[in-house]
Amino acid sequence: MPRYGMVIDTRKCVGCQDCVVACKTENNVPEGHNRDWIVTESFGKFPDINLEIRTERCNHCSETPCVSCCPTGASHIHDVGGVVLVTHEKCIGCKACVEACPYDARFIHPDGYADKCTFCIHRVEKGEKPACVEVCPTYCMHFGDLDDPNSEVSKLLNSRKYHALMTDAGTKPNIFYLV
Amino acid sequence: MNSLSRRRFLKISGATVVTAAALAGTAKTFIKSSEKINEQSEKGIKKISTYCDLCFWKCGVMAYVKDGKLWKLEGHPDDPLSNGRLCPRGTGGVGAHYDEDRLKTPLIRKSLRGEEKWVEVTWGEAFDYIAEKMNKIKVEYGPESMALFSHGIGGSFLKHLMHAYGSPNETAPSYAQCRGPREAGFELTFGDIVGSPERTDIQNSKCLVLIGSHLGENMHNTQVQEFSRAVEKGASIIVVDPRFSVAASKAKYYLPIKPGTDIALLLAWMSVVVNEKLYDVDYVEKFGFGFEAFAAEVSQYTPEWAYIETGIDPEVIRETAREMARYKPATLIHPGRHVTWYGDDAQRSRAIALLNALMGSWGRKGGFYIPYSYDIPKYPYPPYPKIEKGTVDNPDGKYPFAAGEQISTGIREATITGKPYPIKGWMIYGTNLLQAFPNRDETIKAIQNLDLMVVVDVVPSEVAGWADVVLPESVYLERYDDLNTSPFRESFVGIRQPVVAEPNDQKPNWWIAKKLGEKLGLAEYFPWKDIEEYLDIRLQLVGHSLEELKQKGIIKGEPQPIYFEDGIEPEFWTPSGKIEFYSPQLAEAGFDPVPKYTKHPQPPSGYFRLLYGRAPVHTFSKTQSNPILRDMMSENELWVNADIALRYGLKQGDKIKLKNSDGVISDQIKVKPTERIRPDCVYMVHGFGQKSRQLRSTYKKGASDAELITQYKTDPLMGGTGMNVNFVTFEMEV
């Protein structure tokens, strides 16, 4: 039983937004909304500056406030990979999950349901990588099974320093950023 | 002519091998591709091979159609430029097809130029209008008085038309307003240009030096992929830039150079390398010409001297020079792409070439490889009419090192002055001259002298608003174009073919050229029935077919050695046949045979130097209305140093206008206070603030850098227009 996650190498990311565009076309994300996005954090004073550029999305957490607050069960953890999904037909668009998510990963689709990154589960279940990983021109994105010690993502985490977002929120995110 | 012969021989011999071997390896791939395609078709999803047109890089694309509608684009897995991955513009190319602002039908203006009031006409009516005017120009002034400005491979058939009509005047702004200076600088040194795609061996570089080159923001797909590979391998990166660029954030050394002083830094670097004898001695002795004179000249430029000019610590200058030398010959001082900055750009590029020569990196792994292209003979057209007059762009060879390309602003000048002879007609394909050229007023003045101005484009660009006739072109995903045989580490030929149909009355450029040619009585120059016949004939000349290439998307040639180490005989097409450290050509033409540093004007008090660059989700000014890319970035921002912003009371998101030294005031732009830029300059992304009212989705979003670039310095070597010479101040609103 895999636990899907992502490892993103911030040393290589240039923040080009290709992941955002690829997700947009792959998943027909409506104009004005995105399932993933780029964050640029700059520290220091010119010219002594540190810059972290990274791509963000739903962290597909292991402890999911978005699922526990859902009144209809539309937000749920998928049978495969621990991927957090929303069943569109069940969702009433009440925005509870949007508020509950500490990563601002969700939005209300114009068709009235909560939408967000699915880890491209429709691709993953066919043995393909998520669209964002497949497109990245800097090859900074890696996807795989965090519970398999021989997977690429596990090896990366064992060999490099990394951080995750808002670990103090108790959500146990499954996206990690190599530094 | 002799050097051209040698180059041609090299190319032909390569092609011969390519052709023979390519045939041998085709059968297996064909079967595999065919199976895959059939499998996908059955599920309602079609995959069609093409190549990209979002910029000039021409990456191979795999386009997906789901239930008859264009769905998504991925890189073609066999394409050596994309390696199966597109940049964000290429990925967002889908939006070009769905762009609601795109041109839909031919238009003829019904009032004054620039007023953007149109009559919709049929293609026949448009061609009648154009042909009548072109025939009149030919009779009254001669065919030479027509000029063509084009960008991209789609311009090739219009170039053919222009030559058939009898005009030699055709060019692209990508030369004099972009990469021209580096071609001149490298040709003067190595006898060859950098070319496009650049022959930079980034992925194997152990030390990469980027001088004002914004890899990661300037999204030249192959180079960004290779940049990432170099970072991963732990390459030592040195970035020289007034702005802390994305590339700077990956660098071991960031040198926050004072704008306009790059040549001083380069001279100091060369001084350290020469004085400490850190250069590739064997390489220089074997291939160099005039080294002693060069060394005597550069040795005087100490890091302490350069510090006064550049503001960069002398010890950092020494340390970085030694760092470069440590990794030679796998040290690459990148030639850049958009290098028209201050008007001494060809000499700066020559200094970059010279530093590379000292590192021994030309023709070496990790430096500059020797590229190959798949040599396909041209279509066998009848000879063009004899041209009576020379081109107008460079009268009397005023710019002696304009490396075989025409100077677009020289054509503009001739249109204004009528010298050496009048230019009365402009045909513009796929380029927005009002955003590409400096000094908007000069461009409009030239336009007003025209008897005919035709714009062929996909979107109603700003310059289209000034045309007499606007012709709507199919988006690249809706049309064939000529074959792509970009020079690269391996030779290949790529196809562009229709993926989906045009939504309105748009037509492809080849059709426009052919129909207009026939109307002009030039049918003998368009003997092919359609472009498929044209492409098939060319492909058959090298033992392939259109059907085969349509299926595969990419056909590769036989791999060849690309480095001197692999057995290539080094060849330098300079007058001396060697790498010219001292340039007798430059001396004879009255220029410095070794580059010298000259001070540039600095901003007066209260003013800031205006710098501009690219964003990874847009190409110049041509993609702002693409709904997908617009969603990523719909306007630009003004980068202002955080301390300056504080002093002027500017906060994140405040809207201000800029006024330049000539009193031109921009539209509103949002402020971005940042620590990532020097206090003496401001920066914005190029291409925004457009004034075409037909571009409803992007009209006046942000400010136009082009509008504020009223001043420019013409490069005396090759005619390029240095555009980083404008100063702006903040126009505060009350």
Residues 239-258 (B) with a CB less than 8 A from some CB of A:
244, 246-250, 254, 256
Chain A CA closest to residue B247: A14
Q: Give the residues across from B75 on adjacent strands.
A: B61
Give me the pLDDT at residue B5, please.
Answer: 31
Give bridge partners of residue B147 from the DSSP assignment: B426
Q: Which of B511, B452, B2, B436 is nearest to B176 (CA)?
A: B436
Are A67 and A77 in contact, with CB atoms under 8 Å apart?
yes
B1 Cβ neighbours under 8 A, 6+ residues apart: none
CB B57 within 8 A of CB B197: yes
Interchain CB contact of B108 with A (< 8 Å): no
Those residues whose C-beta lies under 8 Å from the C-beta of residue B424, and which sit 6 or more positions away, are B137, B140, B141, B145, B146, B449, B450, B451, B452
| Distance between CA atoms of residues B356 and B235, nearest Å | 17
The shortest CB-CB distance from B228 to any of A12, A44, A50 is to A12
Report ipTM for this prediction.
0.96
Instruction: Residue A18: list chain B partners with CB under 8 A.
Output: 85-88, 91, 616
- Counted across chains A and B, CB pairs separated by less than 8 A come out at 125
What per-residue confidence (pLDDT) applies to B27? 28
B-chain residues near A135 (CB < 8 A): 74-75, 85-86, 91
Spell out the residues 6+ positions from residue B321 whose beta carbon is closer than 8 angstroms to its own: B268, B269, B272, B273, B276, B278
Of B176, B177, B173, B215, residue with least CA distance to B198: B215
Residue A15 with chain B: CB contacts under 8 Å: 216, 246, 616
Angle at B453 between CA B458 and CA B711, to 5 degrees: 90
Instruction: Give contacts of B227 with chain A, Cβ < 8 Å.
Output: 14, 138
Q: What is the pLDDT averaged over residues A15-36?
A: 97
Q: What are the backbone angles phi and psi of residue B334, rounded to the nearest 5°?
A: -65, 130
CB contact under 8 A, A138 and B227: yes
Nearest to B676 among A16, A46, A139 (CB): A46
At what angle are helices B180-190 and B345-359 packed, to 10 degrees?
A: 40
Interchain proximity B631–A26, CB inside 8 Å: no
DSSP class of residue B257? Answer: P
Stated length of chain A: 179
**A25–B contact, CB cutoff 8 A:** yes
| Chain B residues touching A139 at Cβ < 8 A | 225, 228-229, 232
Cβ of residue A150 closer than 8 Å to a chain B Cβ: no
Task: Judge whether B153 is closer than 8 Å to chain A, CB to CB.
Answer: no
> Does the beta-carbon distance from B244 to A12 stay under 8 Å?
no
User: CA quadruple B397, B401, B404, B405: dihedral positive or negative?
Assistant: negative
Q: In the prediction, which pLDDT does B544 show?
A: 98
Residue type, B111: S
Q: CB distance from A24 to chain B under 8 Å? A: yes
Q: Using CB atoms, which residue from A12, A20, A47 is nearest to B232? A: A12
Cross-chain Cβ contact A138/B225 below 8 Å: yes
- Averaged pLDDT for residues A101-109: 97
CB atoms within 10 A of CB A78: 15
In this complex, do B631 and A135 lie within 8 Å of one another by their Cβ atoms? no
Q: Does B343 contact chain A (CB < 8 Å)? A: no
Predicted local confidence at residue B317, as pLDDT: 98
Contacts of B224 in chain A (CB under 8 A): 14, 16, 137-138
Question: In the structure encoding, which two tokens stand for residue A173, read together?
Answer: 């995110």
Strands (E), B172-251: 207-211, 236-240
Distance, in Å, from the CA atom of B192 to the CA atom of B571, rounded to the nearest integer, reads 9
By C-alpha distance, the chain A residue nearest B61 is: A135
pLDDT average, residue stretch A139-158 = 98
Cβ separation of B221 and A11 shorter than 8 Å?
no
B641 part of contact set with chain A, CB < 8 Å? yes
How does the average pLDDT of chain A come out, rounded?
97
User: Alpha carbon of A59 to those of A35, A116, A119, B340, B502: distances in Å?
Assistant: 11, 10, 9, 44, 40
The pLDDT of A134-146, averaged and rounded, is 98
- In the block, tokens 């079609």 appear at B46
Amino acid letter for position B307: Y
Consecutive H or E run containing A153: helix A152-159
Query: Which of A20, A51, A131 is opposite residue B249, by nearest beta carbon?
Result: A51
Residue with tokens 């430059």: B586
Residue contact A11–B250, C-beta within 8 A: yes
Question: A49 and B675 in contact by Cβ < 8 A?
Answer: yes
pLDDT of residue B15: 37
Q: Report whether B372 contacts B487 (CB < 8 A).
A: yes
A11 touches chain B (CB under 8 A): yes
Of B85, B616, B677, the CB nearest to A136: B85
Whether B249 sits inside 8 A of A50 (CB atoms) is: yes
Using the Cβ of B631 and the Cβ atoms of chain A, whether some distance falls under 8 Å is answered with yes
Give chain B's length. Answer: 734
Q: What is the pLDDT of residue B404?
A: 83
Provide, as residue numbers in chain A, all residues whose Cβ is less than 8 Å from the Cβ of B629.
21
Q: Of A38, A13, A116, which is closest to residue B232 (Cα–Cα)? A: A13
Q: Which of A14, A32, A34 is facing B246, going by the closest CB pair?
A: A14
Our CA dihedral for B196, B202, B203, B208, rounded to 10 degrees, sits at -170
Tell me whether residues B225 and A42 touch, CB distance under 8 A.
no
> Could you tell me which residues come within 8 angstroms of residue B32 by beta carbon, excluding any fewer than 6 positions away?
none
Query: Does A34 contact B631 at a Cβ distance shorter than 8 Å?
Result: yes
DSSP labels for B280-347? -HHHHHHHEESHHHHHHHHTT--HHHHHHHH---HHHHHHHHHHHHHTTTSEEE---S---SSS-HHH
Q: Identify from A11, A25, A38 which residue to disrupt to test chain B contact, counting B C-beta atoms within 10 A and taking the largest count.
A: A25
Residue A158: CB atoms within 10 Å: 8
- What's the pLDDT at B388? 85
Please identify which residue in the block is written with the tokens 């100490």.
Answer: B302
Cα diameter, chain B: 74
Q: Which of B88, B231, B679 sits opposite A17 (nearest CB)?
A: B88
Q: Which helix (H) or strand (E) holds B453?
A: strand B452-457
A53 to chain B: which residues are within 8 Å by CB?
A: 246, 249
CB A16 to CB B88 under 8 A?
yes
Interface test with B, best of A16, A20, A156, A160 (most B CBs within 10 A): A16
Give me the numbers of helices (H) and strands (E) for chain A, helices first please: 6, 10
Residues of B in contact with A7 (CB under 8 A): none
Specify the residue for token string 């040709």. Answer: B187
Would an 8 Å CB–CB cutoff place B458 in contact with chain A?
Answer: no
- Which residues does residue A51 pair with via DSSP β-bridges, in sequence order? A42
Specify whether the CB–CB gap between B68 and A1 falls below 8 A: no
What is the distance in angstroms between the Cα of B625 and the nearest Cα belonging to chain A? 13
* Contact yes or no for B676 and A135 at CB 8 A: no
Give yes or no for residue A63 having a pLDDT over 90.
yes
Is some CB atom of chain A closer than 8 A to the CB atom of B219?
yes
CA distance B74 to B60: 9
The sign of the dihedral angle between the CA atoms of B547, B554, B216, B314 is negative
Cβ–Cβ of B675/A46 closer than 8 Å?
Answer: yes
Indicate the residue of B75, B216, B247 with minimum beta-carbon distance to A16. Answer: B216
Contact B224 A49 (CB under 8 A): no
Report how far apart, in Å, the C-alpha atoms of B594 and of each of B33, B297, B583, B657 are.
54, 7, 7, 42
B680–A contact, CB cutoff 8 A = no
The token pair that represents B484 in the structure block:
């792509």
Nearest CA in chain B to A131: B74
pLDDT of residue B600: 97
Confirm or reject contact between A26 and chain B (CB < 8 A): yes
Whose CA is closest to A2, among A148, A100, A105? A148
In angstroms, rounded to a whole number, what is the distance separating the alpha carbons of residues B637 and B701?
10
pLDDT at position B189? 98
Residues (pLDDT < 70) of chain B are 1-43, 733-734
